[in-house]
Structures are given as structure tokens and as C-alpha cells.
Structure 1
Amino acid sequence: MLIVPERDIADLITRKAAFDAVEKVFAAMAAGDAYNFPVVREAIGHEDALYGFKGGFDRTSLTLGLKAGGYWPNNLERRDLINHQSTVFLFDADTGKAKAMVGGNYLTALRTAAASSVSIKHLARPDAKVIGMIGAGHQAAFQLRAALEQREFEKVVGWNYHPDMLPNIEKVATDAGVAFEAVQLEGMREADVIISITSAFAPSLMSDHVAAGTHVACMGTDTKGKQEVEAALLARATVFTDEVAQSISIGEAQHAVAQGLLSEADINQVGAVINGTHPGRTSAAEVTLFDGTGVGLQDLAVAAAVVDLAVEKGIAIEVDF
């Protein structure tokens, strides 16, 4: 079995490699060539933590495995560790033998950012110039770096529950040579693309905050009860997701479905747009929304790419398991 430690991953994989892996696996899912296993996600009753498993199988690449991990909200404050902690396990699809163990923290941040970027590439207006960021934590910086590569953005507008954290994303904008402005939520109406990446259980972004023609990527809701945006926004938008089953059960769409504002049939796989079987955006005034729930296949695809790179560079650790 091969081991790729967390410490080595940032030097192995690029944002582009993560983007390509996620785009391909979304396409495979929409084509019926890859599928995710049911998600296990539980509050463990200790340290306010959420813990679970996501897995799947991609027949096109024979990638099989799971990610184990979750969210420990006290880590950063108490232990100087990031709040999300995870590990990816890959298995040989022909034999079932353990194939690799890969640190999952940096990969989770990369693949989540890649997913929203895939949605921006395929659904945002080509002339998008202003990007809005709701959230300014660890993941928000990854999101913004990746998103800025998808369009010729000229300005970033940002809002966060804790304004003192906004310098985290202002630095990303400044490093990219893009203007930054802290705004109230009403200021999001200036944005052509909005990424919401919080762990909230109550909506902050309302439908009135979103102008016609905007693409919204909701990336923080991955558990029953979480909610970042008003359900009425989903009713107004053309909704896309990574996986429909997760979208209606643990994603942002859960609330709109529960309120009868949206049905399962109204939700489209972003992979269908990639494959050309769905037209995607059909007008400049259309509001599009990507419900990024985070599927196991994303983690497996990026982890498999990391393993290949680690073997190529001779830094994968081989153990007799």
C-alpha cells in the first residue's frame, strides 16, 4: 500500500490538476459511468464534531475508495489545527486490496474550490467582471484563488459574519491584482458571480441580494439543517448540482424542496452541461445556481491524481499492509 502524507500534497498537485480531475468525474457521473455511495454523516456528541464517510466508484478510471473525516469546530481556536480533518483511502477495483492512503485536508480544500470553479466555467456569463464572496475562512481563500482563474474578474466584493476575517480574502484578491471591497449583503447585487462558503444553519444571502444574470455557487451546505441562501433564490434560479440525491437531502436544495418551491426534477447535474447534454445557461438574464454538496468521487479523483504524481516523483511511501 502507498501512503502520501498531508505534508507532501501541496507540492504535488496544482489547482489545474484538481480542476481537471473534478471536471472529468462530474462528466462521468452525468454519463452514468461513476456513482457515489450513500453518505454517512453524524454528530458524534463530542467536541461538537460532525464525522462521516463519503465513497464511490468510477468505472472509467477504476477509482474506488472513500474519504473518512469531518468538521471539528474547535480545532483552530484550541489546537491550531484546521477545523476540517480527513483522510482518503483508495482500493484496487480488481481485487479489493488497500491501494493507497492519502492526506485529505488540503485535497478537500482543493476539490471544493475546483467544484465551484467548474460551475463558474460552464455556467457564469462570459463577461462576468465582479465576484462576490460570502465567507472568509480557510476554504474561502481556496475558493477565490480558483475562481479568479475562470473569468477576467476586475473586482471582488466580500462579506463575512465576522468582518475581522475579511483580510483573508482581500489578500487573495490583492495578490491577483484585483480590487477588493468589503460590503454589506445588499452589495452582492453588484456581483456577476457569488460564492457562498460558510457553515451556517440560517441563510444570509437572500434572493433580493442577487441581480439578474448572476451565477451563485453554494459550497458550504453539506449536512441536514445547514443553509446559506434563501430558499426563494433556488426557486428563482436554474439549479445545478454535483449529485441530485445529495442536493435534496443534505445540500442547499433540501430547504426549497421541503417548502415545495423546488422538486427533484428541477435540479440538473452540472456534468450534463460538461457533456453537452444540457444547454446550461440560456440567457444573459438567467440566474444559475450550483449546489455544491461535495461528493466522494471528487475526493477520490483528486487523491488518485496525487498518488500518480507521488509515484512519478518517487516520494510515495510504500508499506507492507
Structure 2
Amino acid sequence: MITQDGPLIVTEDLCAQLVGRQQAFDAVEAVFGAMASGGARNFPVIREALGHADAIYGFKSGFDRERQVLGVKSGGYWPGNTDRGLTNHQSTVFLFDPDTGRLSALVGGNYLTAVRTAASSAVSIAHLARKDAKVLGMVGAGHQSTFQLRAAAEQRAFEKVVAWNPHPDMLPRLASVADEIGLEFESVSPQELGAQADVIITITSAFEPLLMKEWIKPGTHLACMGTDTKGKQEVDPALVSAASVFTDEVAQSVSIGEAQHAVGNGALTEEAITPIGAVINGVHPGRVSADQITLFDGTGVGLQDLAVASVAARLAEDSGLAQRIAL
């Protein structure tokens, strides 16, 4: 039943209509800063294999005290969804009134997960990549890759995209986006990608290193966005330990992020990893030399989801496009 005071229902289509790349960037950048200053915190992640459909399911939650955003994202990864014409990642965000605990909004999470993940790597590029970066490298060509490419392209004056994917037949999708935004595109080997790229985004579901330390040139910024589960891995641990490592949340970086392997073999300490919010807040200098290799370990935190979902809910309410229902 539709009501005047029940929770908002913000659909996937409405999220895509209302929340663009800039809104997502601003929301994610702000919440990273709040996390680093202590104004927002994530709660422990629950993430489990279902033992059905090869799916991974879980909950990410947190509270942003500065912006009064409280909630949880419920969802996960269903690898067989592609064959069904569905997105592999499926999720819904529940927002609650911090003063009463009442459900305030139910927000579709699929589009928002994609746009907030792209915003996260874009924030890292904005704060850590060299200003003169010209070549963007893309490792991975799945659903998320086009969001990554569009968001990254807005952060530097890139002239070219070089890309590699384990399944080359998926690369034309990236090529078409590069053409659309006016960038030269080249399909290359991983070694050549490392030789050319000034900024590299990895966005795969790999469980083994796809990029090795010796392939990466000095001054490169890497945004490693695919590793968010224990055992997953996209780059050589030696590359991680050789880089200046930044992350969304240190606790997740060392346990389920790209840094888990370098920390596990003793090559990197937890203390060597810097929250990117410290750079955003001006507490840490970030990149300090042109030759420095910087690496952002994007593990995906619940506060990112809540940040963009709260933007979607606010814009939906302001526009009058969302419905409220009685529970």
C-alpha cells in the first residue's frame, strides 16, 4: 500500500536516472574522508559461500555520523547470471533513520555498486596518479569495466587506452566506450600494458596474479578493484610490497583485499598501508615523487554503498519520483 510516511522505494532505473558519476565521486570521496577522520565507520563484513549456484552472499553495513547515514547492503555474486541475461552482482541497500531505527528507504543496489566502485578508483586516480598521465591501462573487460573506464577518463587528460582481458572477445565493449569518449584504443598483452600505461585499473575476479612487478614502469598508479574476498588476487605480491599502498579500509585490505597476500608472506606490514581518506583530508601527502609507484587497494566498503544510496534516496524524494509504501 502506498503511504505518505513509509519507506521510500528507489528502483534500479531511478538510481541510474538520478545518480551520475560526479554525484558518486563526491559521495565516495566524502565518506572516505569521514572514515579517516573517525566520523564514519564500517561494521564487520559477513560474506559466505552459499553452497548453491556457486554464489557468494553477504552483508556490508556502517554508520556515517557526520551525514547521519545508517544502513546495510545485502547481496553478492552469482557467476551464472550472465547466462541468464542478468548482472552477476545483485544487491539491495536498506537505509534506516539513525534516531529511531525505522526503515527509511529501500534502494536498488546493482547500478549503485557499479558506479560507486568506479568512483572509488576515480578518487584514487584524482589524488594519487601523476598529473601528466596519458595512457590508461584496463585489465578486465566485464560489466564493471565500462563504468571504470568512463569514471577514470574524467580524472586525467588521457590520450589512449590499452587493455587486456583473459577472454579477448570481450574487449570490443571497452573499445566502443573508448571510441565514444575520444580515446585511442589498443588490445595488448599484460606485459605491453605495463610498459605503456601510466594508470592501471584491474577489475577481474582472478585468484592469481595477472600483472607482475617487473612489467610495471616507475611512476605508475594502480587501482586494484577486483579483490574483495579471501583468496582472490590480481597482481604480484612483490608489486604490492614495492608500491606505496593506499586503501579504502586497512582492515579489509589486509584480510580480503589485494594486500592480503603481501601481508600474509611478511613482505608488507599493516602499518605501511594508508587510508586514502588521509590523503583526501590533507593529513598524508599521497604521491611524493614522479617515479613512485602508488597502488590503491579498493576492497569495497559498506559506507560507499550507503553514501551513494543516500544520495539516490534524497534525489528521489526531492524529485517526487519515488513511492513510499507501508510495511
Residue type of the alignment partner of 1:168: R
Matches of 1:121 and 1:59, distance apart in 2:
25
Tell me which residue corresponds to 1:294. 300
Residue in structure 2 matched with residue 197 of structure 1 by the alignment: 203
Aligned pair 1:107/2:115, yes or no?
no
CA distance in 2, matches of 1:55, 1:131: 32
Shift of 1:172: 1.1
Partner of 2:125: 120
What aligned pairs does 1:186-225 form with structure 2 within 5 A after superposition? 186-188=191-193, 189-225=195-231
Q: Does 1:273 align with 2:282?
A: no
Aligned pair partner of 1:51 in 44, 53, 57: 57
> Quick check: 1:130 aligned with 2:135?
yes
- The counterpart of 1:26, out of the listed 12, 18, 32, is 32
Match of 2:151 among 146, 153, 175: 146
Residue 251 in 1 paired to residue 281 in 2? Answer: no
Report the counterpart of residue 184 of structure 1 in structure 2: 189
TM-score scaled to structure 2, two decimals? 0.97
Inter-partner Cα distance in structure 1 for 2:172 and 2:267:
37
CA RMSD of the aligned region, Å? 0.5
- CA drift at 1:7: 2.0
Could you state the TM-score of these two structures normalised by the residue count of structure 1?
A: 0.99
Report deviation, 1:98: 0.6
CA–CA distance in 2 between the matches of 1:98 and 1:219?
A: 31
1:168 maps to 173
Which of 158, 161, 164 is 2:163 aligned to?
Answer: 158
Secondary structure of the corresponding residue to residue 166 of structure 1: helix
Q: Which residue of 2 aligns with 1:72?
A: 78
Deviations, residues 74-126 of structure 1 (Å, cap 9, x unaligned): 0011x110100000000000001111000000000000000000000000000
* Distance in 1 between residues matched to 2:52 and 2:173, nearest whole Å: 29
Counterpart-to-counterpart distance in 2, 1:24 and 1:9: 19
Uncovered stretches (5+) of structure 1, i.e. residues with no partner: none
Letter in 1 for 2:32: F
> Quick one: which of 76, 84, 89 aligns to 1:84?
89
Q: Is residue 14 of structure 1 aligned with residue 4 of structure 2?
A: no
Identity %: 65
Q: How big is the shift at 1:313?
A: 1.0
Q: CA deviation at 1:316?
A: 1.2
Displacement of 1:312:
1.1
- SS state at 1:320 partner: coil
State the match for 2:4 in structure 1: none
Ranges in structure 2 where 5+ consecutive residues have no aligned partner: 1-6
The offset of 1:253, in angstroms, is 0.4
The 3-state SS of whatever aligns with 1:147 is helix
CA distance in 1 between partners of 2:202 and 2:59 (Å)? 23
Q: Distance in 1 between matches of 2:66 and 2:121?
A: 23
Q: What CA deviation, in whole Å up to 9, does each residue of 1:101-156 have, x standing for no partner?
A: 00000000000000000000000000000000000000000000000000000000
Kindly indicate whether residue 314 of structure 2 is the aligned counterpart of residue 311 of structure 1.
Answer: no
